[in-house]
């Protein structure tokens, strides 16, 4: 049942310092929803991943938005994985950059969701090429072959709590719902706890299957 707001909403994102799994620990993490990859040259239909602006340029990076199950355990080389384009946030104007970073902005003293189609992604400390702030553009989604994605290479694996925040943000993009972080985390916890084949370290809030 829908409930009325209590007057405040939760932050959109988790601490940027804990968004990405440190490189030294990433090898133990299978590919999942929210992981950041170098953009492969073309999608599953052979169409190049190139921007359509005045100066066409290859996509720089992509974020996996296929369900983790489809990426972790079922993907074959030719299976298509849904990815969304990731762009450099530092090239935007200061007000836009601030609004994307927060996920909201003030308009006439009222807090509004800012750029609902985008999700803020902090820079990856361990990546020389992606230390800068970025954002995922949910409007630019393509299907890429699993093998091409893996070959392009993962830049960073997303931490579990950041993934919860990303799911919440994507739910808002798709349906304009505001769910609490606890609700989304609870659903993830139930899903993961019930998955006897879960690979990699579980989140602290999702006990193993019994």
Partner 1 sequence: MTATALARFATSIDEVQGEKMNKAPASVVASAQGRGAVEIRRYSKTMGYVLGSDLVDDLVTKAGEHDEFINDYLACRPYLQAAVRSGVDPLAALETLLVVEAEGHLAVNWQGLAGLMSRTPIPAMVGEHGEGLGRGRLRAEAASFGGADDDDYSSFED
Q: Which residues bind partner 1 (CB under 8 A)?
A: 1-17, 69, 72-74, 76, 90, 93-95, 97-98, 101-107, 110-116, 120, 122-123, 133, 175-180, 183-184, 186-187, 189-191, 193-198, 209-210
Region of residue 115 (left: phi > 0; alpha: psi -120 to 50; beta: else) = left
Q: Smallest distance from the beta carbon of 171 to partner 1, in angstroms?
A: 10
Q: Smallest distance from the beta carbon of 150 to partner 1, in angstroms?
A: 18
Of 49 and 121, nearer to partner 1 (C-beta) is 121
Specify which residues 135 forms β-bridges with.
Answer: 87, 120
Q: Smallest distance from the beta carbon of 1 to partner 1, in angstroms?
A: 7
Of 54 and 176, nearer to partner 1 (C-beta) is 176
Of 49 and 103, nearer to partner 1 (C-beta) is 103
Q: Please say whether the dihedral angle defined by the alpha carbons of residues 65, 165, 129 and 114, taken in this order, is positive or negative.
A: positive
- Tokens at residue 108, please? 């006439």
Of 113 and 150, nearer to partner 1 (C-beta) is 113
Q: Smallest distance from the beta carbon of 54 to partner 1, in angstroms?
A: 25
- Kindly list the distances between the CA atom of residue 164 and the CA atoms of 46, 62, 148, in Å, as whole numbers in the listed order: 32, 18, 26
Element (H, E) at 150: helix 146-152
**3-class secondary structure for 92-139?**
CCHHHHHHHHHCEEEECCEEEECCCCEEEECCCCCCCCCCCCEEEEEE
Of 49 and 166, nearer to partner 1 (C-beta) is 166
Q: Smallest distance from the beta carbon of 185 to partner 1, in angstroms?
A: 9
Of 50 and 178, nearer to partner 1 (C-beta) is 178
Q: Alpha-carbon distance 34 to 159, whole Å? A: 9
Specify which residues 86 forms β-bridges with.
Answer: 61, 136
Q: Smallest distance from the beta carbon of 144 to partner 1, in angstroms?
A: 17
């Amino acid at each position: 049942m829908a409930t009325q707001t209590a007057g405040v909403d939760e932050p959109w994102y988790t601490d940027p310092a804990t968004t990405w799994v440190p490189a030294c620990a990433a090898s133990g993490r299978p590919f999942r929803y929210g992981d950041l990859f170098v953009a492969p040259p073309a999608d599953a239909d052979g169409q190049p991943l190139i921007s359509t602006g005045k100066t066409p340029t290859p996509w720089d990076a992509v974020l996996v938005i296929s369900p983790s199950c489809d990426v972790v355990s079922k993907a074959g080389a030719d299976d298509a994985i849904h990815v969304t384009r990731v762009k450099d946030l530092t090239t935007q104007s200061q007000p836009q950059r601030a609004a994307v970073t927060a996920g909201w902005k003030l308009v006439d003293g009222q807090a509004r969701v800012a750029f609902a189609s985008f999700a803020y992604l902090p820079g990856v400390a361990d990546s020389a090429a992606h230390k800068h702030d970025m954002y995922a553009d949910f409007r630019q989604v393509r299907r890429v072959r699993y093998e091409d994605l893996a070959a392009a290479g993962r830049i960073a694996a997303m931490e579990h709590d950041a993934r919860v925040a990303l799911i919440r943000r994507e739910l808002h993009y798709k349906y304009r719902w505001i769910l609490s972080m606890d609700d989304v985390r609870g659903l993830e916890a139930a899903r993961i706890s019930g998955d006897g084949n879960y690979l990699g370290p579980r989140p602290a809030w999702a006990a193993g299957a019994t």
